[in-house]
Structure 1
Amino acid sequence: MFKRAAAISVHLVRPRWGRKAGASLTRCLHQTLAMAKQLQARRLNGIDHNPWVEFVRLSKEYDVVNLGQGFPDFSPPDFAVQAFQQATSGDFMLNQYTMAFGYPPLTKILASFFGKLLGQELDPLKNVLVTVGAYGALFTAFQALVDEGDEVIIIEPAFDCYEPMTLMAGGRPVFVSLRPSPAPKGQLEYSNDWQLDPTELASKFTPRTKALVLNTPNNPLGKVFSKMELELVADLCQQHDVLCISDEVYQWLVYDGHQHISIASLPGMWERTLTIGSAGKSFSATGWKVGWVMGPDNIMKHLRTVHQNSVFHCPTQAQAAVAQCFEREQQNFGQPSSYFLQLPKAMQLNRDHMIRSLQSVGLKPLVPQGSYFLIADISDFKTKMPNLPGAEDEPYDRRFAKWMIKNKGLVAIPVSIFFSQPHQKDFDHYIRFCFVKDEATLQAMDERLRKWKRELQP
């Protein structure tokens, strides 16, 4: 029908405008018809909106102290900087390709270092894959293991990439929420007050469940899962023959004597677990984008297939620098000179500083056990100023975060974005702050909060 219409149109205009006009109209109609086709793949439907874009844009438009995004604004340790400088200026062959699945010195030290922690004899060629950051490890895992119609259990609040990665692989995300237990009046709440309901968690497992995503220490909550909680997850995974994708990028950032436990170290779990880590989080160098995933060869071989047919290879020089960093840490592990002891000790002081400061204006921080982050309860503000500008259906924490950027010069991230759509309204009274910041940034935060406090006084 469209071809016939185009032909008639050309026939009608040709006597008046000549062949040139007719040809132009034909091209126009052809382009219109061609552009009517859907350009994007169906797997992108519904995942194009990213709330981070809006908050990053706002933080650039206003004079703010950025406590929203999770990156250190201080230098990596000297030994890490020196390792990177050596990698870029030393052996010229580090400018070339290395092994597709990881620079051999790096896969070797990762196998040695984490093998002891996991209680496994790791083969660098079979049990370790180096990826473009932990993000790359997650994407590779979902693409390799999740099929059309598979269900993936996601414990929320959850890092916001788990859901779209599940959807892009053709899977169906199934959500189960950690729920808070109120603290006694006048006392601070803690991230470990947020617990899974064992019955609810068990109800999420079905014959279609392929994997469960675990994040400990958790972003945004800062919760470190206890051994008892991990055993609950492990028992259900084994009972239902489900894989566990364990995102452990903050494993060295634990506070107050809490202990990070890898679920792969529990009996019966190595065989069904992928353990994901990040050099960026480990050595305060998030821009290096070096991550890894470890697991049994019968699972890892499928990740290698995705890797070799996508990125194929990660930058050699960054891998060489990370290898040197881990070699140093292995020599100093458990000693005061270990960065994996020094960093959490320093960041616990930052955390405590931020908690005290936020309380001064009526925010109610929850004390995190781990990670870069803490969340603060804004319920009192929701009661006092419920009608902040924003769309009618926009969760309150998003409107509050925008108001705080524009009026108080402080950037935080609304916690509702870490929840699935049906649960966002239930958790729209929290905002997330990053305390892994330089002392000067914390001082700038204090200055903004002192001004805010003065404005609160009658």
Structure 2
Amino acid sequence: MPGSYRDFPPKSPQCHRFAERVEDVKPSVWVEFTGLAAECKAVNIGQGFPDSPMPRFVARMLENVAQHPERTDWHQYSRGFGHPRLTNALAKVYSSTLGVNVNAQTNVLVTVGAYLSLYYSFMGWLNNGDEVIVLDPAFDCYVPQILMAGGVPIPVVLSLPADPKSSADYTLNVKTIEEKISERTKMIVVNNPHNPTGKLFTQEELEKIADIAGRHNLLVVADEVYEWHVYGGKKMMRFASLPGMYERTITIGSAGKAFSVTGWKLGWSVAPAELLEPLRRIHQNCVFTCPTPIQEAVAEAFEKELEILKTNPAESYLKKGITLDLIRQRDRMASILRSAGMKPIIPDSDETNDPLDFRFVRWMCREKKLAMIPNSAFYTDINKQDNDHFVRVCFFKTANMVENATETDLKTFKDFLTQYNAVAEQCFISCITDFTTRTVNNAEDQCCSNCLDKFLKMTQRMSLRFQEHQLIQNEAQEPLGLK
């Protein structure tokens, strides 16, 4: 039939280009390394999710919802901006924690995970060329989302001393923030407690950021999904609770982080109505509404917690239960890492050009069956190479998983490092130095040959897997610099 689509010459889809807004967006570090962990059947201690059973009281609430099919208000579409029972519960929680009157109808937006709350915030408020201050390292979705919204991420690096002991050692240079602000700066992202470092910002640090935000009329996206993961007597200071900050802040929270149910993918934004308006416009035309049964269960969980906090705070899961688990498992993981020759920073709460930690993590996963996450993945490109000597480990894992990692993978890795350093330092180097000054006998010559052979094979293996010739040369004289 003349003129039909069959008359057009076939063309490859490759003749079309990506939309410009996603051309610079790289694959997520979670996609690569979660897939690699599954492929290699590795123990995954890198990704930040608990592998223990969810809190039983939360499970019972979802069970109750499922057992009542007659409740159409639990199983059909709910209010688009948030299930009424949940927004009412969240309004009570944040009215208390922020010290303001949060209206359930106008100041709360429920989203499919905190990711969407972040995405809506950038898409709803950034125009092409608007600059956003991002504290580096940062959760890896910030920069791609800012770029997709047409914004320009401006990194401000958190500095770290040479021998850090705690995530509190990461310091924020407020003067650097001031220097990075221009007439195009519109927003700053404040992630507290901080992911990936685990740093809990002090009230003084947050007040300095608030002063800058006020003087330069900046919007603030406060990613506080780990707000309930604060322990050791430290105080969680919510940014919007600071004087004058609620009016310019979008506060983001997560049910997955609060109740250890990351697969439920339920988050929210809390802010004045005028700040939420563009987020609501995007939400109503993209998602419309979130799963009602999950919202109902989370609402009941918060109601239960609110009641316990009033009558018996010591029994609260949010205040005590989750933090006790975190402290115990944090200390356990730190002890294991130290025993493997690593130096953990304790939280308060083809590949040639890839950073060293990326290559190291791939090697660990493939060869030692231990999955971690490279630290430099959380830095902007300009700062990756200066921050690639750390790896990220999640300690919120069951004792069985940690024991498995301890008894097999980390022990093997520790033995490997010990053998590598012993051959390089204690035998090969000393032998070569000694044998250049005197005549050696056959036994000594054979010893040297064996050590040299072992050393060369090991360095060759390291070179092939890390593809870092300079690293091998340097570390023939000193232990691995990974922390």
TM norm. shorter chain > 0.5: yes
SS in 2 for 1:276: strand
**Compared with structure 1, are the counterparts of its residues 29 and 359 closer, same or farther at alpha carbon in structure 2 (3 Å cutoff)?**
same
Give the equivalent residue in structure 2 for 1:318.
294
Give the equivalent residue in structure 2 for 1:268.
244
Give the CA deviation at 1:40: 2.9
Give the CA deviation at 1:214: 0.9
Instruction: Output one character per residue of 1:273-299: Cα deviation in whole Å (capped at 9) or x when no partner.
Output: 000000000000001111110001111
- TM-score, normalisation: structure 1: 0.87
The letter of the residue matching 2:326 is M
Q: Which residue of 378, 392, 404 corresponds with 1:418? A: 378
Are 1:142 and 2:102 counterparts?
A: no
Give the CA deviation at 1:206: 1.4
Q: Which residue of 197, 201, 215 corresponds with 1:239? A: 215
Q: Distance in 1 between matches of 2:332 and 2:315?
A: 24
Q: Which residue of 157, 182, 189 corresponds with 2:162? A: 182
Q: Which residue of 343, 346, 363 corresponds with 1:364? A: 343
Q: Distance in 2 between matches of 1:28 and 1:109?
A: 60
Give the CA deviation at 1:219: 0.9
Give the equivalent residue in structure 1 for 2:443.
none
- In structure 2, runs of 5+ residues without a counterpart are 423-483
Give the CA deviation at 1:391: 2.6
**Aligned 8 A contact 1:182 1:189 in 2:** no
SS in 2 for 1:441: helix
The letter of the residue matching 1:96 is Q
Are 1:158 and 2:134 counterparts?
A: no
Are 1:355 and 2:316 counterparts?
A: no
Q: Larger deviation: 336-345 or 54-63?
A: 54-63
The correspondence of residues 48-447 of structure 1 with structure 2, limited to 5 A, is 48-90=26-68, 91-93=70-72, 94-183=74-163, 189-333=165-309, 335-340=313-318, 341-370=320-349, 391-447=351-407
Identity %: 41
**Compared with structure 1, are the counterparts of its residues 37 and 407 closer, same or farther at alpha carbon in structure 2 (3 Å cutoff)?**
closer
SS in 2 for 1:434: coil
Give the equivalent residue in structure 2 for 1:383.
none
Q: Which residue of 8, 16, 37 corresponds with 1:38? A: 16
The letter of the residue matching 2:404 is A
Q: Distance in 1 between matches of 2:3 and 2:63?
A: 60
Give the CA deviation at 1:412: 0.5
SS in 2 for 1:30: coil
- TM-score, normalisation: structure 2: 0.82
Give the CA deviation at 1:35: 4.2
Q: Distance in 1 between matches of 2:400 and 2:46?
A: 16
The letter of the residue matching 1:392 is T
Give the equivalent residue in structure 2 for 1:5.
none
How large is the Cα RMSD of the aligned pairs? 2.0
Q: Distance in 2 between matches of 1:279 and 1:391?
A: 37
Q: Distance in 2 between matches of 1:35 and 1:114?
A: 49
Give the equivalent residue in structure 2 for 1:13.
none
- In structure 1, runs of 5+ residues without a counterpart are 1-19, 371-389
The letter of the residue matching 1:269 is M
Q: Distance in 2 between matches of 1:292 and 1:217?
A: 17
Give the equivalent residue in structure 1 for 2:435.
none
**Aligned 8 A contact 2:111 2:267 in 1:** yes
**Aligned 8 A contact 2:28 2:140 in 1:** no
Aligned pair count reads 413
Q: Distance in 2 between matches of 1:324 and 1:35?
A: 49
The letter of the residue matching 2:239 is I
Q: Larger deviation: 320-329 or 66-75?
A: 66-75
SS in 2 for 1:284: coil
Give the CA deviation at 1:309: 1.2
Give the equivalent residue in structure 2 for 1:452.
413
**Aligned 8 A contact 2:77 2:292 in 1:** yes
Give the CA deviation at 1:50: 2.5
SS in 2 for 1:246: strand
The letter of the residue matching 1:305 is R
Give the strand-richer structure, 1 or 2: 1
SS in 2 for 1:309: helix
Give the CA deviation at 1:401: 0.6
Give the CA deviation at 1:56: 1.8
Q: Distance in 1 between matches of 2:276 and 2:32?
A: 36
